[in-house]
């Protein structure tokens, strides 16, 4: 079972997200902020990181910068989630692989994550398949089951 690092400060969101990921067959390492997530990254390397943007102590953007700066971790796909406009997130960190606007539809997020875990990240440019799914999510298109 693939390991996913989930980083989310809101209790309810974190509980539900962990439940959804586990139901999809992932093992989940959970952290409530970027700093706690970095501590967990010293252990087993996850197949992907699903992280909130705005969190106490260390934001998802700061976590992303730290991950990309570490050669041992730099190739981990990052799925960023936020209630903020994507332009704000991009202003602080743009090298994520997928972006999901909160509140999200579980099927869309899980489909994006499955794609990232399966294909890994394409450094330097975003995967066209991911772009397509993100655009569909932003338009509120109901995605077929993955």
Tell me which of 19, 75, 94, 102 binds another protein, using CB under 8 A: 102
**Shortest separation between residue 67's beta carbon and another protein, angstroms:** 20
**Shortest separation between residue 130's beta carbon and another protein, angstroms:** 21
Tell me which of 27, 45, 57, 135 binds another protein, using CB under 8 A: 57
Question: Omega of the bond prior to 103 within 30 degrees of 0, cis?
Answer: yes
Q: What's the gap between Cα 123 and its chain centre?
A: 16
**Shortest separation between residue 57's beta carbon and another protein, angstroms:** 7
Binding segment (CB under 8 A) for another protein, from list 67-75, 78-86, 115-123, 137-145: 78-86
3-state SS string for 17-75? HHHHHHHCCCEEEEECCHHHHHHHCCCCCCCEEEEECCCCCCCHHHHHHHHHHCCCCCC
Contact residues: another protein, CB under 8 A: 9-13, 32, 53-57, 82-85, 87-88, 102-104
């Amino acid at each position: 079972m693939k390991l996913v690092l989930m980083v989310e400060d809101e209790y309810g969101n974190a509980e539900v997200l962990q439940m959804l990921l586990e139901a999809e067959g992932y093992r989940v390492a959970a952290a409530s902020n970027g700093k706690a997530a970095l501590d967990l990254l010293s252990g087993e390397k996850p197949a992907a990181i699903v992280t909130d943007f705005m969190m106490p102590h260390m934001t998802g953007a700061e976590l992303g910068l730290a991950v990309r700066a570490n050669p041992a971790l730099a190739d981990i796909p990052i799925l960023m989630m936020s209630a903020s406009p994507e332009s704000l997130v991009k202003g602080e960190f743009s090298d994520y692989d997928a972006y999901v606007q909160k509140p999200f539809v579980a099927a869309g997020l899980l489909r994006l994550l499955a794609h990232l875990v399966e294909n890994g990240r394409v450094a330097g440019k975003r995967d066209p398949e991911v772009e397509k799914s993100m655009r569909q999510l932003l338009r509120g298109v109901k995605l077929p089951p993955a």
